[in-house]
């Protein structure tokens, strides 16, 4: 658009995620060990005006605005490859690249957790907020990214509150924790016990820890492994023969031993109920073959879930979530359109500013010229003339500016109007 | 005048129930907020109706069956609102408002004309005894609701059917704790109700205790709740068993409150036939 004004900056997003790049590529791209601030690094690239750097375990992305996106992209990729120690070719092979509308959509999808490995998981929004806070502390964001990020946060919030996308557990260990919540409500005063210290049990224990349980008891065939895990997760280690005593205190039991036979029989569990004062007991058996006698579920106030039960819960939730994701995507789409129409209003800003500047310049010049002929004036008179001329100018340019603003979201009309305004006010030659 | 407010309150309670029901279906927070506002409004209207009746009758409106039902519903609505302010329990409203509505409906079906109070019953003990008993009934009705919710939720979790209802009901522990609280409040109230009743009986009929059907049945009810509380505090009976016991206890309350009136006759019958 040869109008003598810069076209507004382009919004560009490049990055890698769990779908496009293996962890060996994602890791160095996070630029963790660098002594230089990545934001500074990226901002120093030619034409880059605003920049944001998002790095999580599943994705690394750079979002920036640039007046010359092609040049900036090349520069940015070069510097990213250099600093991460990856060959440029490798980097380019895994990178995705989005511009303007697509970049906005991608950001909204990421914020709403629609692009996550586990769709609907809530952490990503917090990570994005942190990244934004960091960027704004470093003062690398400006008008466009500020607005874009705030919009992304509000879209994410809308998706979360208006769809049920985040309301169901889609991993087995998380489903176990959700179930525990439905049985116990708050987990703050509950005691959990792990029988067997396998990977699955560890994962479930981490979820329980995050859920806020009070104590963790870890029972294992080899005590060393139990002690090791108890250091890692913060808990008490016991031997397998102490299980029955520990059951008296435990509210949640997760069993995952590799034992060929039963580890907990119905009789054992029944015996503990009296000393437990019939407190609710939630047993999760994720071992194959099973550790806990299925008949345990028949005991009053005892709830036993095995791996298949939990899988059933997860499958049901996944289907539900896929449906909700569709709804969320429609919501994102609507918000992208809204943001684009705001972006278009940015096109007219330089023209409006040009009109205002020109009018003001004319006023100043004419005022200066007439001052000599007006002779000596009192201060009040001078002020009155200033106010008078100013209000005449403002009134004259008021309507054109209003018309420009009103049509800003209509692309065709804007095109015509901007050309007309530029010609009528002869903005090209003056500025 | 009281009739006008009573009918209005009944209608407003209906609206509030619809609100709670919508909340249950959609899980929209606004629906519940509005339902609570509407319920509060209904509660105020209901209170106005009771006050108007008191003035009109020139005696406490605790005499006819209509009045008794209306009061129980009134206390139940008030109690639920209190509970909601204090504990914020997900979807209890959807279970409590129908009971309020049924009680109100029963009250509406009863003859509403004001009957004179038999001279023997003129006493300060009338409002004291009746209020305490009715509040106790309302508390037990609440405990009943919570127990029903507990049994539904318990069944879902036990049978591993984790559908929409499962997501909409509070956790087992929360329901159990709430049940315990209700019994702990309701039982002392019932005790005081029986004691004040016998003091009044002494004053009116010259005897503390006469094995009148109402007296007998309230004693049976008292023993049931005493057993529930005792078992919970000593052996730790809780969960499903406590819920079932609470429901049985409430059946006894219903019989004491209604059955005695219709099936057996004694001096305690509400003054419908006067």
**pLDDT tens, A50-81?**
999 998 878 999 999 998 899 999 999 999 99
The reported pLDDT for the residue numbered B273 is 34
Asked if B267 contacts B205 with a C-beta cutoff of 8 angstroms, the reply is yes
**Buried b or exposed e, range A103-120, using 16+ CB within 10 angstroms:** bbbbbbbbbbbbbbebbb
Question: pLDDT-based confidence at B266, cuts 50/70/90?
Answer: low
Query: Any CB–CB contact under 8 A between B160 and chain A?
Result: yes
Same domain assignment for residues B108 and B152: no
The reported pLDDT for the residue numbered A416 is 84
Sheet holding A215-220, edge to edge: A236-239, A215-220, A191-195, A252-255, A281-285, A302-306
Residue B125 has pLDDT above 50, yes or no: yes
Q: Where are the alpha helices (DSSP H) in A239-306?
A: 243-249, 266-273
The reported pLDDT for the residue numbered A429 is 61
Same domain assignment for residues B101 and B226: no
Q: Name the average pLDDT for chain A.
A: 86
- Interface contact A279-B172, CB threshold 8 A: no
Chain A interface test: which of B31, B172, B178 (most A C-beta within 10 Å): B172
The reported pLDDT for the residue numbered B269 is 61
Same domain assignment for residues B136 and B262: yes
The reported pLDDT for the residue numbered B272 is 43
Residue A306 has pLDDT above 70, yes or no: yes
Same domain assignment for residues B178 and B98: no
| Distances from the Cα of B67 to the Cα of A110, B39, B269, angstroms | 61, 20, 13
The reported pLDDT for the residue numbered B144 is 96
Mean pLDDT value across residues B70-96: 90
Alpha-carbon gap, residue B138 to B186, rounded angstroms: 8
Q: Where in the sequence is the domain holding B262, given as residue range(s)?
A: 120-269
Exactly one of A34, A57, A361, A387 is catalytic; which is it?
A57
Give the Cβ contact number of residue B124 at 10 Å: 10
* B274 occurs within a structural domain: no
Q: In chain B, what percentage of residues exceed pLDDT 90?
A: 55
The reported pLDDT for the residue numbered A7 is 61
Tokens in use for A287?
A: 């071992």
Q: What fold is seen in the domain A10-162?
A: Beta Polymerase; domain 2 (3.30.460)
Same domain assignment for residues B9 and B86: yes
The reported pLDDT for the residue numbered A169 is 62
The reported pLDDT for the residue numbered A185 is 87
Domain termination residue (choose one: B74, B102, B117): B117
Same domain assignment for residues B170 and B186: yes
Same domain assignment for residues B174 and B90: no
Chain B residue with the nearest C-alpha to that of A251? B173
Same domain assignment for residues B86 and B170: no
Question: pLDDT-based confidence at B188, cuts 50/70/90?
Answer: very high
Same domain assignment for residues B130 and B246: yes
Domain termination residue (choose one: B63, B89, B117): B117
Of 3.40.50.150, 3.40.50.720, 3.40.50.1010, 2.160.10.10, the CATH number of A172-312 is: 3.40.50.720
Is A57 an active-site residue? yes
| ipTM value | 0.85
Tokens in use for B193?
A: 């109700």
- The two counts, helices (H) then strands (E), for chain B are 10, 0
The reported pLDDT for the residue numbered A4 is 39
Q: In chain A, what percentage of residues exceed pLDDT 70?
A: 97
The most confident of the ranges A149-153, A182-186, A286-290, B255-259 is A149-153
Domain termination residue (choose one: B117, B152, B183): B117
Residue B183 has pLDDT above 90, yes or no: yes
Residue B265 has pLDDT above 70, yes or no: no
Same domain assignment for residues B137 and B261: yes
Count of domains for chain B: 2
The reported pLDDT for the residue numbered A167 is 65
Q: Name the average pLDDT for chain B.
A: 88
Mean pLDDT value across residues B65-92: 89
The reported pLDDT for the residue numbered A229 is 84
Tokens in use for B100?
A: 């309020």
Q: Residues spanned by CATH 3.30.460.30 within chain A?
A: 10-162
- Interface contact A305-B171, CB threshold 8 A: no
**pLDDT tens, A362-392?**
999 988 888 878 877 888 888 898 899 999 9
Residue B274 has pLDDT above 60, yes or no: no
* B94 occurs within a structural domain: yes
The reported pLDDT for the residue numbered A209 is 83
Same domain assignment for residues B111 and B149: no
**Chain B partners of A182 at a C-beta cutoff of 8 Å?**
153, 157, 166, 171-172
Mean pLDDT value across residues B170-192: 94
The reported pLDDT for the residue numbered A308 is 85
Mean pLDDT value across residues A306-327: 83
**pLDDT tens, B37-69?**
999 999 999 999 999 999 988 888 888 888 889
Same domain assignment for residues B105 and B145: no
Distance from CA of B153 to the nearest CA of A (A): 9
* B251 occurs within a structural domain: yes
CA nearest A302: which of A239, A256, A250?
Answer: A250
Q: Which residue has the tokens 């994705």?
A: A59
Look at residue A285 and give its three-state secondary structure. Answer: strand
Asked if A121 contacts A18 with a C-beta cutoff of 8 angstroms, the reply is no
DSSP A2-57: -SSSPPPPEEEEEEEETTTS-HHHHHHHT-TT-SS-HHHHHHTSTTEEEEEEEE-S
* B9 occurs within a structural domain: yes
Nearest to B172 among A274, A277, A280 (CB): A280
């Amino acid at each position: 658009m040869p109008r003598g004004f810069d076209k507004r900056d382009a919004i560009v997003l490049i990055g890698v995620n769990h779908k496009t790049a293996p962890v060996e590529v994602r890791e160095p791209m996070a630029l963790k060990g660098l002594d230089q601030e990545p934001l500074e690094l990226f901002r120093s690239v030619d034409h880059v005006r605003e920049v944001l750097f998002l790095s999580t375990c599943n994705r690394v992305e750079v979002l920036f605005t640039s007046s010359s996106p092609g040049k900036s992209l090349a520069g940015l990729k070069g510097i990213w490859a250099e600093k991460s120690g990856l060959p440029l070719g490798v980097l380019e092979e895994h990178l995705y690249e989005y511009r303007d509308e697509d970049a906005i959509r991608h950001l909204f999808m990421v914020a709403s957790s629609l692009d996550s490995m586990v769709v609907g998981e809530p952490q990503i929004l917090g990570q994005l907020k942190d990244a934004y806070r960091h960027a704004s502390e470093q003062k690398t964001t400006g008008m466009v990214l500020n607005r874009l990020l705030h919009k992304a946060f509000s879209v994410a919030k809308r998706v979360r509150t208006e769809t049920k996308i985040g309301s169901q557990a889609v991993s087995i260990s998380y489903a176990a924790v959700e179930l525990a919540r439905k049985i116990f409500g708050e987990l703050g005063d509950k005691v959990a016990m792990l029988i067997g210290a396998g990977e699955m049990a560890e994962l479930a224990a981490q979820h329980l820890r995050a859920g806020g349980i009070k104590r963790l008891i870890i029972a294992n065939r080899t005590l060393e492994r139990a002690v090791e895990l108890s250091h890692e997760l913060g808990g008490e280690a016991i031997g397998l023969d102490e299980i029955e005593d520990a059951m008296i205190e435990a509210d949640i039991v997760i069993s995952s031993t590799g034992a060929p036979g039963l580890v907990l029989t119905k009789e054992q569990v029944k015996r503990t109920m009296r000393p437990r004062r019939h407190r609710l007991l939630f047993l999760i058996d994720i071992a194959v073959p099973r550790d806990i006698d299925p008949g345990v579920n028949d005991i009053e106030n005892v709830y036993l879930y095995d791996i298949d039960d939990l899988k059933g819960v997860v499958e049901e939730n996944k289907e539900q979530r896929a449906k909700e994701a569709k709804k969320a995507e429609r919501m994102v789409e609507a918000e992208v359109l809204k943001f684009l129409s705001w972006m278009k209003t940015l096109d007219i800003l330089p023209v409006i500013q040009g009109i205002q500047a020109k009018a003001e310049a004319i006023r100043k010049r004419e005022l200066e010229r007439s001052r000599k002929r007006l002779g000596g004036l009192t201060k009040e008179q001078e002020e009155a003339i200033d106010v008078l001329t100013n209000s005449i100018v403002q009134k004259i340019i008021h309507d054109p500016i209003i018309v420009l603003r009103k049509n800003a979201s209509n692309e065709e009309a804007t095109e015509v109007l901007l050309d007309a305004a530029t010609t009528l006010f002869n903005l090209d030659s003056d500025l | 005048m009281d009739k006008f407010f009573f009918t209005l309150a009944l209608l407003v309670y209906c609206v509030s129930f619809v609100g709670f029901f919508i909340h249950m279906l959609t899980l929209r927070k606004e629906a519940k907020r509005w339902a609570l506002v509407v319920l509060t409004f209904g509660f105020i209207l209901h209170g106005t109706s009771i006050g108007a009746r008191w003035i009109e009758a020139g005696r406490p409106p605790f005499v006819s069956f209509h009045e008794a039902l209306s009061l129980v519903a009134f206390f139940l609505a008030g109690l639920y609102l209190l509970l909601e302010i204090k504990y914020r329990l997900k979807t209890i409203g959807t279970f409590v408002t129908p009971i309020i509505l049924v009680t109100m409906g029963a009250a509406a079906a009863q003859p509403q004309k004001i009957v004179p109070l038999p001279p023997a019953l003129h006493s300060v003990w009338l409002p004291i005894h009746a209020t305490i008993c009715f509040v106790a009934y309302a508390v037990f009705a609440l405990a009943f609701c919570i127990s029903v919710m507990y049994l539904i939720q318990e069944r879902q979790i036990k049978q591993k059917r984790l559908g929409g209802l499962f997501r909409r009901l509070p956790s087992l522990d929360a329901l159990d704790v709430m049940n315990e609280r209700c019994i702990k409040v309701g039982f002392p109230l019932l005790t005081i109700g029986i004691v004040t009743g016998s003091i009044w009986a002494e004053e009116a009929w010259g005897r503390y205790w006469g094995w009148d059907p109402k007296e007998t049945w309230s004693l049976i009810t008292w023993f049931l709740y005493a057993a529930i509380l005792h078992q919970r505090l000593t052996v730790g009976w809780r969960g499903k068993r406590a819920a079932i016991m609470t429901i049985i206890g409430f059946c006894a309350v219903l019989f004491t409150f209604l059955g005695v009136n219709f099936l057996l006759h004694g001096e305690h019958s509400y003054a419908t036939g006067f």
